[in-house]
Amino acid sequence: MVSELKVGVLGAGAWGTALAVLAARQGAPVALCARDAQRAAMIETTRENPRLPGVVLPPSLRVSSAYPQVDILLLCVPMQHLRASLVNLPPQRGALVLCCKGLELASGRLPPEVLQSVLPGQKMAVLTGPNFAHEVAAGLPAASVLAATDTNLRAALMNALRRDSLRLYGSADVMGAALGGAAKNVIAIASGVVMGAGFGENARAALITRGIAEIARLAVALGGKAETISGLSGLGDLLLTCTGMSSRNYSLGLALGKGDTLAAVLQSRTSVTEGVATAPALLARAQQADVEMPITAAVTALLAGESGVRETMRTLMGRALKDE
């Protein structure tokens, strides 16, 4: 680490483990907290997490089920568990960095909104971007956005979390960065459906482009900036998630496009596919803000079984003509 600030990671899934490995690679002490004590002990003993196969944990990375006493805590828990995780945090928790992507299904809130509702006034930032966990853990080149409204906090966190293989860009647009990371999962499901159903590359390119447009509209309505959605936390993340087979959301959409049922796809998985819960929450949030998001609406209907794949495509293609 460039800084001497102590770093901890809450959530021992693939992404949390990858960030912990990255932080500890040059010998800095890093604490990784797994919710289940037995699983934490297994990872600590074997020095490998089954969620991230082939990656050996650095010697300075310690794994336990105890909340770490650190200066910076990266929150890498699934979005629907974020609120409960925040409630259970100890009083001495340091700065919090939100690394989860999505919207809370019950409230429609983005990660920073959930955090502020539970811990008002808490120092926090959002870390997001086009990053697959296995590539980050392998030390392959990547870039992310670190968004925080507090300029000094943003600079301190960027200095502490930067790595030779991870370039960080700062942003003051917390809402835009969080929305880009959440909404891209929904568009990625649609992208997978398009390819799984054999609709072709032309259709996917059009869908990604229009997906960016509808996310940007909502970002502005929520107080964010449209240009944020054109950067790493929006377009960058969307391109990766809409084209890479390592994306759980894209691969789920691909299976749906080929005719598999949602229940069957989810039953075959041990990891969370965030876009499934995010889609209806995102649509509800857009409707509250009076923002039109036709792709998000189509994905929500498809996941709910209210529309078939080809019917969904006909609905999107048959919308009223307008200028771009």
End position of a domain, from candidates 150, 172, 194:
172
Output the pLDDT for position 3: 46
Q: Are residues 82 and 189 in the same domain?
A: no
Asked if the structure places residue 151 within a domain, the reply is yes
Q: Give residue-wise pLDDT tens across range 180-237.
A: 999 999 999 999 999 999 999 999 999 999 999 999 999 999 999 999 999 999 999 9
Output the pLDDT for position 1: 37
Q: What is the CATH number of the domain that holds 227?
A: 1.10.1040.10
Distance CA 290, CA 16 (A): 35
Domain span at 312? 175-317
Q: Helix (H, G, I), strand (E, B), or coil: what is residue 261? A: coil
Contact assessment for residue 89 and residue 35, using Cβ atoms and an 8 Å cutoff: no
Asked if the structure places residue 63 within a domain, the reply is yes
End position of a domain, from candidates 132, 150, 172:
172
**pLDDT greater than 50 at residue 37:** yes
Q: Are residues 194 and 216 in the same domain?
A: yes
Q: Annotated catalytic, 184?
A: yes
CB 21: neighbour CB atoms within 10 A? 24
Q: Are residues 264 and 158 in the same domain?
A: no
Q: Are residues 230 and 153 in the same domain?
A: no
Asked if the structure places residue 167 within a domain, the reply is yes
Distance CA 161, CA 23 (A): 7
Q: Which of 123, 184, 225, 322 is catalytic?
A: 184
Q: What is the CATH number of the domain that holds 61?
A: 3.40.50.720
Contact assessment for residue 34 and residue 51, using Cβ atoms and an 8 Å cutoff: no
Q: How many domains does the chain have?
A: 2
Mean pLDDT, range 245-272, rounded to an integer: 94
* Whole-structure pTM value: 0.92
For 234, the token pair is: 């929006």
End position of a domain, from candidates 140, 172, 204:
172
Q: Are residues 30 and 113 in the same domain?
A: yes
